[in-house]
A and B are shown apart, each in its own frame.
Chain A
């Protein structure tokens, strides 16, 4: 009998070769399905074609959204007729970040709709609620925003349109994000048609901080500087004699106010924001290497963030003549950036060249206080070398100490920055005011920021003082 069995085994072992092949495929499918449910589904199911969200709200009350320091920025309440309504206590303060639920959802309300409508309270309570016909409370979303910092950024914008975004360099946490013009999510339904009418050209719904496409102006000199350093193997030797303008063929690039800066090294050219020197520098760079550096600094591709719906920045030197290359080198030309992108670059400088991917949805917490899920800090990797970071720190410090931003009062903070004054029409008197940079306090805490104020004029007059206010609020 045993002998018979062994021969059968020997003869028919191929059966199990096939059986194991199939079993392997089944197990692979189980792994794939598990992975999809755990990771993939999260990105996939937030889609307007998925009609299932509305059904969740029958059993669950949509959870609240909080700042990191516990301020409620969105909650579910009840109107006079006991109908659920969504309330935003700070009205316009977080409009683009938090979004809205009426009119098809946007912002965090849209991306976390699914999670806000899931309840992770104990099963016993869920059954009790079911029995008594009550809804279970949905999970709450904690953001990374700091309330006071957001207020400072929001109020600092005053009447201007534009954007502010501030990031903690060591983690990627977005601490403040403002985009103007804005809207009041409480009442968006009533003036929805007005916002979207063709005569309204202000793009109120656009989140300028993550999706704006601005000319970077002189803040782009950070990129040109890195391109120059990479072209010269990290050697920062540079000399230029500025007489206030540079002739490129029949086109003249002027320094700000036609000021002649005289003899400059790289440090001086950067801190003076000398257009002539940078146009000259850019024209003499190899176009392909310049483009390669820009792309290493995240141009022309989706930004590596954990924030949904961000816009890629554009940089192109293809078919550019010297005139256009010169303009591009000083942040004019065809280049466009989002404030988020500029903030990521200075954040990487502050974090010794390592870029942490920005995020502002921190964690989901059940109504009973248990953490349901938490966003992990994620490093994109080193986008600048140590020596590049050292030089840029030196240059950006000079901008604040005795360069274009020396008139700005940053208090006791150590600040590294770059101003920008970006032309956006042929009318040279109309300029956007830029400031990008970061600050460190005496405990080593850091904050990176990008500010743009549309049509405000000099970066040093408007954007940099606003950055100072935001820093002050954050480091209090």
Chain B
């Protein structure tokens, strides 16, 4: 009976995800298709999210015979409703395409984690509730800070200080210093520094209209990146670097500076390659993983076995062996999804991530303050590059960098920082009105 359910669900899950994805591609052109149509699509998308979550939960419940899964599913739906209401309240009823994407990514995360590791799934759900609460609070705080763009040096100091603390006291994981431990809870400060970093760079550019903006932001960015490089957190260093380069490009529209910065970044990459043996070993694991399958290539080969064995339509949820992949709940969760739900669903997931990225850029484009325009661009860039580094590493498109997949990988710090990012993107116009004492425009 259970195996029939799984076989049947291979089709239904595929349909839910594909319908969602198809509408998502249309929703990129939100501004063109009109509010009414977009609203209908959003509603259908929300239904698909709910169907997907319920379908996955039912399979997991029958296979694991664990009542916690049903309880979790109910609370997850309640959380989704709470998030939807809070976002609508905060931004006066904008269409929910971006919101739907965030909820879909969260659903993928909940189902994958419940399948892989029940205790982590429960904790991740608690993190999600906390993150939503903190993000709403953060919006209320941001609304009430006057001239937030002029507080740029505070953001820079806080950011660099946090990174330095990690550098000197953090514990080493997979060859890099990433996290701090407080009484059993480990946090990754670099996830929050991403936010202060964006506020700092955008603040510099908006506050100083002359060369000082460029100069200060460059020095600040360089300091951040250097500390990260010396902590050997090269994945994050790369994200910061790319975010800086692209924000500067959007702000100053200068193709020459863009090319120059690419050259500097490229040279930096070569320097890092020669300087750090653990980057070299990741390159070897990428170029010929079977030659080091016992050692450095083990993880990526297991990931490719999982994706390849799952094939286009997957082995069916709970039928695969994704737990063979080391760190599957964090960096390699995409492979677990692809193995059991199939490469077609995995490809849909890439499309959903791509559409999310474009919708974030849409939000930046439509934003009425140049300060938040830059920040939302930064959020879009960080979200995109992180997804590319993660998925690309899992499918052997690029060497693995140990970066998490936004909203889907296990980990509270990354989840919280992404929540805040998406709330900012969704509610930016509200944040500005209060700041500037202006209420409405048409």
Contact = CB atoms under 8 A, between A and B. Distances in A.
B423 interface: no
Nearest to B31: A5
B392 A29 contact: yes
B332 to A, nearest CB: 14
B250 A44 contact: no
A192 interface: no
Interface in B195-233: none
B305 A45 contact: yes
B309 A47 contact: no
B185 to A, nearest CB: 33
A130 B6 CA distance: 10
A380 interface: no
Interface in A19-58: 19, 22-23, 25-30, 32-34, 36-37, 40-42, 44-45, 47, 49-52, 55
A52 B3 contact: no
Interface of A: 8, 12, 14-19, 22-23, 25-30, 32-34, 36-37, 40-42, 44-45, 47, 49-52, 55, 59, 114, 123, 126-127, 130-131
Contact of A18 (B246, B321, B351, B353): B246
Contacts of A23: 354, 357-358
Contacts of A126: 7
B395 to A, nearest CB: 5
A contact face: mostly helix, strand, loop, or mixed: helix
B305 A49 contact: yes
Contacts of A29: 350, 388, 391-392, 395, 397
B293 A18 contact: no
Contact of A16 (B3, B290, B346, B361): B361
Nearest to B320: A52
Interface in B309-323: 309, 311-312, 315, 319-321
A353 to B, nearest CB: 34
Interface in B258-316: 290, 293, 298, 301-302, 304-309, 311-312, 315
Nearest to A29: B397
B311 A37 contact: yes
Q: Which of A17, A44, A126 has the most CB of B within 10 A?
A: A44
Nearest to A16: B361
B144 to A, nearest CB: 28
B312 A50 contact: no
B357 A22 contact: yes
B381 interface: yes
B324 interface: yes
Query: Sorted from nearest, which 10 A-B pairs have the closest CB atoms?
Result: A41-B308, A26-B354, A19-B361, A45-B308, A50-B305, A22-B384, A37-B343, A52-B309, A130-B4, A14-B250
B179 to A, nearest CB: 28
Contacts of A15: 250, 361, 364-365, 377
A223 to B, nearest CB: 32
A33 B395 contact: yes
A16 B250 CA distance: 9
Given A22-B385, A47-B293, A51-B321, 10 more contacts: A26-B388, A29-B395, A30-B350, A37-B311, A41-B307, A41-B311, A44-B305, A55-B319, A123-B11, A127-B8
Contacts of B312: 37
Nearest to A52: B309
B420 interface: no
A128 to B, nearest CB: 9
A18 B377 contact: yes
B380 interface: yes
A45 B293 CA distance: 12
B249 interface: yes
A249 B55 CA distance: 84
Interface of B: 1, 3-4, 7-8, 11, 246, 249-250, 253, 290, 293, 298, 301-302, 304-309, 311-312, 315, 319-321, 324, 338, 343, 346-347, 350-351, 353-354, 357-358, 361, 364-365, 373, 377, 380-381, 384-385, 387-388, 391-392, 395-397
B305 A18 contact: no
Given A12-B365, A45-B305, A28 B250 contact: no
A131 to B, nearest CB: 5
5 contacts: A18-B380, A22-B385, A30-B347, A37-B343, A52-B305
Contacts of A8: 365
A52 B321 contact: yes
A30 B351 contact: yes
Nearest to A26: B354
B291 to A, nearest CB: 12
A19 B358 contact: yes
Contacts of B249: 14, 17-18
Contact of B309 (A12, A40, A114, A130): A114
A374 B147 CA distance: 68
A238 B386 CA distance: 70
Contacts of A22: 354, 357, 381, 384-385, 388
Given A22-B384, A37-B311, A50-B309, A45 B343 contact: no
A412 to B, nearest CB: 50
A3 to B, nearest CB: 15
Contacts of B377: 15, 18
Nearest to B385: A22
Nearest to B339: A52
Contacts of B305: 44-45, 47, 49-50, 52
Nearest to A27: B354
Nearest to B8: A127
Contacts of A30: 347, 350-351
Contacts of B319: 55
B111 to A, nearest CB: 20
Contacts of A50: 305, 309
Nearest to B312: A37
Nearest to B359: A19
